[in-house]
Amino acid sequence: MVINSACKKEGLTTSSEDSISFSTDTLYFDTVFSTVGSSTRKFSIYNTHNAPIKIKSLKLAGGSNSLFRLNVNGVPGTEFKDLEIRAKDSMWVFSDVTVDPQNTNIPFVVKDSIECSTNGNLQDVKLVAFGQNAVFHKPKAGDNSFYVDCDAIWTSDTPHVVYGIAVIDSACSLTIEKGTKVYFHNNGAIVALSNASLKVEGTKEEPVTFEGDRLEPEFENIAGQWQGIYLFPLSVDNEVDWAIIKNARLGIQADTSNAAVSSNPTLTIRNSIIQNISSIGISGRGAWIEGTNCIFANCGNYCGAFSLGGKYDFKHCTFANYAPQGFDGAALVLNNWFEDNNRNIIPRDLEQANFTNSIIYGTQTNEVVLSNDENGIFNYAFKNCLLRANKSDTNYESEEFTNCVVNQDPNFVSEFGESFMIQETSAAKDIGDLSAVNNDLLNLENDLNMNARTLDGKPDAGAYEYTTLEE
């Protein structure tokens, strides 16, 4: 793990005026969960002199008791002697860390340093890791899934880290309290079986977050780091309030409503953000989904995909696809059919798909994809929405589109960050239907930032109301 050039060997410099230099003075390890090894960090040691130089000693100050580890020349250890760097050359040093649990629920700092002695000069690079205790949920050895306790409650005291697939068994529930942070390792997921329920109880001040367990800055906006949340066929009464779901392969999927057991939607999702997903943000497959005050943004295939029929109702939601990672799916797709194993098209009735006071926009010329099998019911309606649509593909002048604004810029504050707030010049401003906001049962009087929608009597489309405070 030391990279040296093949320069002709010269006499070593032994002058005390000659020392080494480093590519950094501090090696940081972002949040590291206790008992779980960090990713490896590295730094360079430079010899800027015209002759080779020898590092007499390179060692961990904490020695064998250190929580950090070193690897030099492909050899792990705590101390290395007589490391030679050729003239005008450099070498790599690699380090990682495993943090011991501590008696605290708040993040803590673990420190050490790498000390180098060269020509009588003592120099060091600081090692700093931010540790965090966590509750680990994982399958038994050799398995890839496990059942969570029936009617389990995950609290916000410490983060929860999921390895494998966490399964909510039939007739059981999993409740996730406000402020809880749930991290998923690689193929991690949550699955709710038939008659099972997922309850996410975030608040504006303390949302529930779901994301991958790679917390280094370079992974902050990398999609596809974990599998997603799957509500299997006939799961019931799933509710998601004030959640942030990001960087998954699929955000949340609800499959097949269970009307025989529950008179409630398969999934009710409110005041939530699902973004930076490598496939579909929110998916309904013959399900009943109701959504209000939500952002579904920047997804590889579709931000919203509602297929195999079902019932869907979204009010004051923003479906926006400006995916920065080369994805080019539409913001929304609806269909009323599926293809069986013999490639036969089987109709599945789309009983309703209503979108009110919403924004459906993105980089494609047609962000509203309608795929209808004429042998099935295909009921949909867009009311007081801002849409990007191609008339040849989506006949937005038909009776299914009421008071909609088409192909005019929503002027989001940001299309690639977490902000899909609108600017004063947005075409979504003041186009909403006031009657939807005044429905007390929907609690839509405030937007996703808790700004009032009715101060000027003209609600804006989308999850955010324009206010001068947002500029």
pLDDT digits (tens, 9 = 90+) for 76-98: 999 999 999 999 999 999 999 99
pLDDT digits (tens, 9 = 90+) for 445-465: 999 999 999 888 899 999 999
Q: What are the domain boundaries of the chain?
A: 21-132, 135-470
Q: Under 8 Å CB-to-CB from 148, ≥6 apart: which residues?
A: 137, 166, 167, 168, 169, 172, 174
- pLDDT (0 to 100) of residue 11: 85
Using DSSP, state whether 314 is helix, strand or coil.
strand
Positive or negative torsion for Cα 209, 211, 213, 217: negative
pLDDT for 471 beyond 60? no
- Token code pair at residue 193: 């079986």
Q: How far is CA 120 from CA 15, 19, 23, 123, in A?
A: 9, 9, 21, 10
pLDDT for 327 beyond 70? no
pLDDT digits (tens, 9 = 90+) for 354-397: 999 999 999 999 999 999 999 999 999 999 999 999 988 888 88
In the chain, the percentage of residues whose pLDDT exceeds 90 is 81
pLDDT for 8 beyond 50? no
Give exposure, 385-413, as e/b (b: 16+ Cβ within 10 Å): bbbbbbeeebebeeebbeebbbeeebbbe
pLDDT for 469 beyond 80? no
Is the model more confident about 437 or about 173?
173
pLDDT for 107 beyond 90? no
- Token code pair at residue 43: 């730094």
Q: Which residue intervals of 275-328 are DSSP H helices?
A: none
In the chain, the percentage of residues whose pLDDT exceeds 70 is 95
172 in Cβ contact with 194 (< 8 Å)? no
- pLDDT (0 to 100) of residue 6: 39
Confidence of residue 106 (pLDDT cuts 50, 70, 90): confident
Average pLDDT over residues 314-339: 88
Confidence of residue 2 (pLDDT cuts 50, 70, 90): very low
Average pLDDT over residues 208-232: 94
Tell me the CATH number for domain 21-132: 2.60.40.10
Confidence of residue 1 (pLDDT cuts 50, 70, 90): very low
Confidence of residue 3 (pLDDT cuts 50, 70, 90): very low
Q: From the CA atom positions of the chain, what is the Rg in Å?
A: 27
Average pLDDT over residues 138-150: 95
Q: What angle do CA 295, 297, 303 make, to 5 degrees?
A: 100
In this structure, of 115-119, 284-288, 418-422, the range with the lowest mean pLDDT score is: 418-422
Average pLDDT over residues 287-303: 96
Which of 41, 74, 75, 80 lies closest to 60 in space, CA to CA? Answer: 80
Q: Dihedral through CA 439, CA 440, CA 443, CA 446, nearest 10?
A: 80
- pLDDT (0 to 100) of residue 397: 87
- pLDDT (0 to 100) of residue 205: 98
- pLDDT (0 to 100) of residue 439: 78
- Token code pair at residue 333: 């797709």
Q: Report which residue type is found at 425.
A: T
- Token code pair at residue 361: 């926009």
